[in-house]
Structure 1
């Protein structure tokens, strides 16, 4: 339990430090500052994991953590799922939202090789690698050793929510009540989905990194391909509802899996 408490303290403390330093890191027309801030922001969960190890298990903990994050051998269906499920979510969003747009959808012409390359840039610069080495690479195994999959998902989801709110208050979207409620619901649902992937597909952090990347990437791709969809609230509501439904299915599958193993 000590590791869980320490990690939560460190990750929120580092987010707060980022919040304090952000105005000094990023100035007007300073692209270098924005890149630095992005790396500091995205890797605070990893830094929190390392600090927690330093104050608890130390040398042995670092060795175990390194061996864990360097495991890549997962099943083909694991790698397929991290692409297909986020793609499915966004296809549903496009289909549903298109019914509420007065005019016909117009697809922006994109440089597809460039957009494919952006996926791999997302891994390192948009948060997935730095975040998931903390959230699922360190925190999830710890909370699962103490709590059920549902409670573990809710704990991590809440920590991620408060962490993101601090970050968003520094450099993100406007924090109105509508955004906060929808974001809380979606991030709790996403946390359940990640726990399902961890328990049913692969306990290797690389799967969480790729799933996180795919979720961010396909939202970015959808918004770039069909920008007018962002003008309607249906877009975001459909996304949240789809996440919740998939999370509920994941919980049912996890419960059935546990019953079969008992």
Structure 2
């Protein structure tokens, strides 16, 4: 019998440690930026800071799942065969949101260029920079562990709202780098939280259809990638995405409630097999 003491509140401990790791790393990125280091150095450090949730989960793993293998756990999260229809549907929905946002922003005559990217090379760099930071760095901890752990006790929707809120709050230091102040900052924060919690519900709906961590990684990637491609007012961009992702989240709940509203997630952390009950 394994004598190692198991954490009583693993999700709360994970969220706390994630923030404790992220804050100094985020401050280090700011210092490096102010000292005038090359852009690629700043990008690398930003990427490392985005992995704070993975670092936190790895540190706590043995106390959360005593006697189990961290690498086996990670492998199991990608074991299930990917469903092409699930991935294609998610990408099509996000592409549609991107095109609507692009259309709305294009009506603003103050914008000289509708896109932030000027060449194919920069586009490729931008794509992989985002992939290596947010999606790959955050999904194992927030989705692979925290979401699935809460779904043992709560419905997927309730678990999504809880994790979506704390995932959004984890971004708090970044809010103050936007240059926004006063009412504009408050407006941005509210819209940001709506956008990220709505996206979290979308992730849950599709992830529960295909229990493979690639699914939320793809959704996360295209959310970040698409919104960063458009050259527009920051508040307008986050407002359009907040509204559109909220609409999609509500539609997914109505169309397929069993994957969002009902049932808890029965997760076997040893074999990695899951079933919605």
Q: TM-score, normalised by structure 1?
A: 0.82
Unaligned residue ranges in structure 2 (runs of 5+):
1-7, 264-275
1:174 equivalenced with 2:180 (yes/no): yes
Superposed CA offset, 1:173-200 (max 9, x none): 5361111111111111111111111112
Q: CA deviation at 1:2?
A: 2.1
Q: Which has the higher helix share?
A: 1
CA contact (8 A) 2:105 2:114 kept: no
1:183 is matched with which residue? 192
Cα offsets for 1:61-81 (capped at 9, x unmatched) = 414422224437301112313
1:99-132 per-position Cα deviation (integer Å, ceiling 9, x unaligned): 5x358986569434652564234211x3110011
For residues 14 and 118 of structure 2, the distance between their equivalents in structure 1, rounded to whole angstroms, comes to 41
| Whole-angstrom distance in 1 between the partners of 2:121 and 2:199 | 28
- Root mean square deviation of aligned Cα: 3.0
Equivalent in the alignment of 1:250: 252
Q: Distance in 2 between matches of 1:113 and 1:23?
A: 26
Question: SS of the counterpart of 1:16?
Answer: helix
User: What is the match of residue 49 of structure 1?
Assistant: 57
Aligned residues: 252
Shift in Å, 1:238: 2.1
Q: Is the 8 A contact 2:199 2:249 kept in 1?
A: yes
Aligned equivalent of 2:239: 237
SS in 2 for 1:55: helix
Tell me: CA distance 1:220–1:256, structure 2 relative to 1, closer, same or farther (3 Å). same
Structure 1 stretches lacking a partner, 5+ long: none
Matches within 5 A, 1:1-262: 2-31=9-38, 33-71=41-79, 73-99=81-107, 101-102=108-109, 110-112=118-120, 115-116=123-124, 118-124=126-132, 126-169=133-176, 171-172=177-178, 174=180, 176-200=185-209, 202-221=210-229, 223=230, 227=231, 230-231=232-233, 233-255=235-257
* Separation (CA, whole Å) in 2 of partners of 1:27 and 1:117: 23
Change (3 A) 1:149 1:127: same
Q: Give the whole-Å Cα distance in 2 for the aligned partners of 1:184 and 1:162.
A: 8
Which one is further off, 154-163 or 88-97?
A: 88-97
Give 1:205 deviation, angstroms: 1.1
Q: In structure 2, what is the Cα distance between the partners aligned to 1:72 and 1:121? A: 26
* SS at 1:73 equivalent: coil
Alpha-carbon distance between aligned partners in 2 of 1:210 and 1:174, rounded to the nearest angstrom: 29
The CA distance in 2 between the partners of 1:259 and 1:242, in whole Å, is: 23
Distance 1:71 1:121, change over 3 A: farther
TM-score scaled by length of structure 2 = 0.78
Kept after mapping to 2: 8 A contact 1:14/1:48: yes
